[in-house]
């Protein structure tokens, strides 16, 4: 299978995004390192979705974004060229259900922690502040982009309740906007370009990147027999 990827980088640091598997990604200190990780990411991503992974993957880079952001800290502002297209009702429904499933699975992973304020990770600080260390901090950080993401496309939302409930409410509000499937790309905060497709992809990607971190921290802190691999990171 040919996997079309978008390459976002800052010097050597790289994030590759699978264009046709919204939310699947691979990071590396170089493009080659990220490329080497992508086939396994696609396999695990498809297993998480309950679909059959491809037998083999051939990676094509179809878009490149040179960034001034801290890519090594998973900061991103790329808009895929394909994310400027209108959505069909079927595409939207599939992506929305995947974003909601991702939220539900993230909440289940967080709920599995016997102590949500305990972490074996050392304190680490970046340009953007302290990196979340505990399950509670990771969950709050991941949940609390809800209002931000929806507001970037002009949809009122909030961060109240669970990660699932506030996201579901945001989609309900979006669906009241006339012509929401074909809203034009807009310039949001910090000059970043946003679209409905991008919001859907960003939710899944943001969940996935922090679920990986939460799962690894949980195994390190409590052991693999305690923390379930809900997203299939070790399958």
pTM: 0.95
What does the pLDDT look like over 118-146, one tens digit per residue?
Answer: 999 998 876 567 889 999 999 999 999 99
Query: What's the confidence (pLDDT) of residue 28?
Result: 92
Q: Thinking of the domain 2-78, which architecture would CATH place it in?
A: 2-Layer Sandwich (3.30)
Sheet with strand 2-10: strands edge to edge: 25-28, 13-18, 2-10, 58-66
Query: What's the confidence (pLDDT) of residue 128?
Result: 63
What is the chain's Cα-based Rg?
Answer: 17
Q: Average pLDDT in the 79-90 region?
A: 97
Whether 107 contacts 163, CB under 8 Å: yes
Q: Average pLDDT in the 89-93 region?
A: 98
**Percent above pLDDT 90 for the chain:** 85
Query: What's the confidence (pLDDT) of residue 74?
Result: 77
| Pairing status of strand 129-130 against strand 125-126 | antiparallel
Query: What's the confidence (pLDDT) of residue 72?
Result: 77
Q: Give domain limits for the chain.
A: 2-78, 82-222
Query: What's the confidence (pLDDT) of residue 123?
Result: 86
Q: What is the dihedral angle through the alpha carbons of 212, 216, 219, 221, rounded to the nearest 10 degrees? A: -120
Q: Thinking of the domain 82-222, which architecture would CATH place it in?
A: Up-down Bundle (1.20)
What are the CA-CA distances from residue 217 to residues 33, 109, 118, 150 (Å)?
A: 23, 12, 10, 29
Q: Is the pLDDT of residue 197 over 60?
A: yes
Query: What's the confidence (pLDDT) of residue 126?
Result: 66
Local confidence band at 60 (pLDDT 50, 70, 90 cut-offs): very high
């Amino acid at each position: 299978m040919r996997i079309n990827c978008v390459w976002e980088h800052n010097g050597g640091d790289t994030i590759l995004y699978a264009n046709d598997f919204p939310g699947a990604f691979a990071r590396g200190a170089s493009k080659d390192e990220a490329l080497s990780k992508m086939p396994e990411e696609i396999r695990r991503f498809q297993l998480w979705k309950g679909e059959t992974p491809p037998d083999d993957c051939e990676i094509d880079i179809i878009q490149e974004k040179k960034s001034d952001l801290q890519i090594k800290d998973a900061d991103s502002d790329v808009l895929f060229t394909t994310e400027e297209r209108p959505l069909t009702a079927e595409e939207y429904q599939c992506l929305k259900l995947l974003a909601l499933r991702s939220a539900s699975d993230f909440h289940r992973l967080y709920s599995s922690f016997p102590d949500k304020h305990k972490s074996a990770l050392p304190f680490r600080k970046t340009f953007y502040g302290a990196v979340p260390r505990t399950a509670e901090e990771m969950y709050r950080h991941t949940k609390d982009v809800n209002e931000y993401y929806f507001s970037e496309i002009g949809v009122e939302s909030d961060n109240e309740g669970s990660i699932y409930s506030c996201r579901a409410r945001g989609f309900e509000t979006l669906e009241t906007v006339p012509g929401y499937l074909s809203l034009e790309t807009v310039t949001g905060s910090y000059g970043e370009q946003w679209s409905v497709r991008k919001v859907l992809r960003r939710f899944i990607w943001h969940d996935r990147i922090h679920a990986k971190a939460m799962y690894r921290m949980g195994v390190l802190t409590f052991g693999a027999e305690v923390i379930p691999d809900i997203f299939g990171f070790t399958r």
